[in-house]
Amino acid sequence: MMMGGFGFGGQGARRGHPDEEMFGSVYDQKVVRRLLPYIWPFKRLAFIAAAAMLIYTGTQVAIPWLVGTTIDGYITSGDLVGLTWMFGVFVAIAGVNLVMNFTQQFLMEKIGQGILYNLRRDVFHHVQKQSVSFYDKTEVGRMMSRVQGDVGQLQEFAALVVMTLGEMLGLVGIVIALLLMDLQLGLTTMIVLPLLAVTMVVWQPLMRRAFMEVRRTISVVNGELNQNLTGVRVVQAMNRQERNMERFYSLNHTHLSANLRTGRLGAGLMPPVDILTAVAIGLALYFGARMISGGEMEVGVLIAFILYIQRFFDPIRNLTMMYTQLQRSMASGSRIFDLLDWQPDLVDAEDAETLTQISGEVEFRNVSFSYLPGEDVLKDVSLRIAPGEVAAVVGPTGAGKTTLVSLMARFYDVEQGRGAVLVDGHDVRDVVRSSLSKQMSMVLQEPYLFSGTVRENIKYNHTEASDEQMIEAARAVGAHEFITDLDEGYDTFLAERGMNLSQGQRQLISFARAIVADPKILILDEATANIDSYTELLIQRALAELLKGRTAVVIAHRLSTIRGADKIVVLNFGEVMEVGNHEQLMARDGLYAHLYQMNYAAIDEPLPVSTNGANAP
């Protein structure tokens, strides 16, 4: 199933392009109900903001009425004392207007930021809990883009609700004022409303499609920018700069055209509204002047009428814009809460046991496993690794090697009835995963370092480790010397992914991070595949010491690592084909011997002598 278009289960109505701007209904009860717990902590601030909004709206509506009253009651009669009092009233209302406007806007911003903070915290916490299978099905970059955009959009929801309420109350107040001042003239000036309604009905869907097109085109532009920056080495190596520039210009121009069309539609709303405003004012002046001539109306009332008509169309225009924003907020909220409803595949059982200290025995008991139904990656695998034993896992690509160690680390769970993975006799499905992971470390083929200091990276999950333990771990893997040569030593700040270090240096720090907590089980998933021969030599020297007293499972293509293993497990098509040490398996002349002859033996062969004349004696 796909959720929100980017990789998790959800409602089919929201399937589609992952970066397409989605519009929901203006009011979605499910979203509002789920959002209330995030608003509730700010209920006091929301109440004050709503009260401030009501007062602010009241002052806005009262001003034209007061203008008319002042003209008819004090200016036409020359009552300077009364006029002075009215001046004071206007100043007081302006002051109240200023304070209430500032109060409601500041409080709504504070509430919005608080909602954003709590939502982002909960989403990050929830995503961190997801199992590896979640990320197997999810494009992380698009998920980040969607979550950031949706959370930011949902932040505006509370403010939009209050603003919408304010505009609607203002509109109602203006209508009531017009009808109270003169029912006949009020109804006459409102005959333009059907024309305004038609304008809005035509304009709103056009604007909605325009917004969607802008969102779609910026998504394409960002995707193109991302892949060209990420793959800059390939771009330059293949000399694709000019062609990439042409493609980017084309995509960027499409985005420009979409924005200009949106701008034209946005600007296109103003002339009809202004024309209808002018028509309404013209009607008020024409019929109002005749009523004044007949003594049915005073001048101040007509002026107040005109002021109200000028203000009448502003709330309608604003409500139309808010309508689209509310649709987007509701759709964003729906996607966010769908994500928060996604349950992790791996959850500790209620009666899960905590492993306090393990010896390191690992057993696979008739394990079959598949990522997709009906396509087994492992088939009835049975294997026992004794405490302190070094087991190498070899086999062709796709044999199931990484899946084997992933089940050990409990990145995935074996389905009930399809075997079991045991550590010290405990089914890993029945233990607290964090208690297992604390006693197990893994070094991957591609070292991943985080932005931060060398110290923070080595102590990443074990901040309680002392500096002595950190340095001892670095010495054990041969990393201490190059770390101390860095500008700030262990306090040197590493760039994203540790790009200011060499590949080998990054891998050495990964090794140090893996052993700083003295794990009982160490998994090396082709950890020496991408490093140079010198760094591999350092690691090979360290491994003899590192693996003492530890159970180790090593996936490797390097002959030296495999030869020294106590046990070599040969996998093919998810099945265990052979088990034994190097000499035993070579004597069997089976799959291992065949792989060795084809791949591993070539590693020990000397490089061919160049036939280039420059190297001839």
**pLDDT at res. 13:** 34
Does a structural domain hold residue 399?
A: yes
Does a structural domain hold residue 193?
A: yes
Q: Count of domains in the chain? A: 4
Q: What is the pLDDT of residues 99-109, one digit of tens each?
A: 999 998 898 88
**pLDDT at res. 100:** 93
**pLDDT at res. 16:** 38
Does a structural domain hold residue 615?
A: no
Does a structural domain hold residue 5?
A: no
**pLDDT at res. 231:** 76
399/465 Cα distance (integer angstroms): 37
Judge contact between 501 and 473, C-beta under 8 A: no
CATH code, domain with 488: 3.40.50.300
22 and 128 share one domain: yes
380 and 505 share one domain: no
Judge contact between 412 and 398, C-beta under 8 A: no
**pLDDT at res. 139:** 61
Residue 590 carries which side chain, given as an amino acid letter?
Answer: G
105 and 223 share one domain: no
174 and 119 share one domain: yes
69 and 177 share one domain: yes
Q: By residue range, what is the domain housing residue 494?
A: 446-518
226/24 Cα distance (integer angstroms): 29
Between the CA of residue 168 and those of 58, 163, 171, 312, 322, what are the distances in Å? 12, 9, 5, 11, 11
Which residues on neighbouring strands pair with residue 523, listed in sequence order? 442, 553
**pLDDT at res. 435:** 85
117 and 152 share one domain: yes
CATH code, domain with 339: 1.20.1560.10
Between the CA of residue 352 and those of 348, 435, 485, 520, what are the distances in Å? 6, 10, 46, 20
228 and 88 share one domain: no
0.75 exceeded by pTM: no
464 and 500 share one domain: yes
Residue 168 carries which side chain, given as an amino acid letter?
Answer: M
**pLDDT at res. 525:** 82
579 and 568 share one domain: yes
**pLDDT at res. 608:** 45
Q: What is the pLDDT of residues 328-374, one digit of tens each?
A: 777 777 777 877 887 777 777 778 888 888 888 999 999 999 888 88
User: Which element (helix H / strand E) includes 423?
Assistant: strand 420-423
The list of the chain residues with pLDDT below 70 reads 1-28, 131, 133, 135-147, 149, 155-159, 162, 215, 320-321, 324, 327, 527-532, 535, 542, 545, 557-561, 599-617
Judge contact between 150 and 14, C-beta under 8 A: no
109 and 143 share one domain: yes
First-to-last CA distance in the chain? 68
340 and 476 share one domain: no
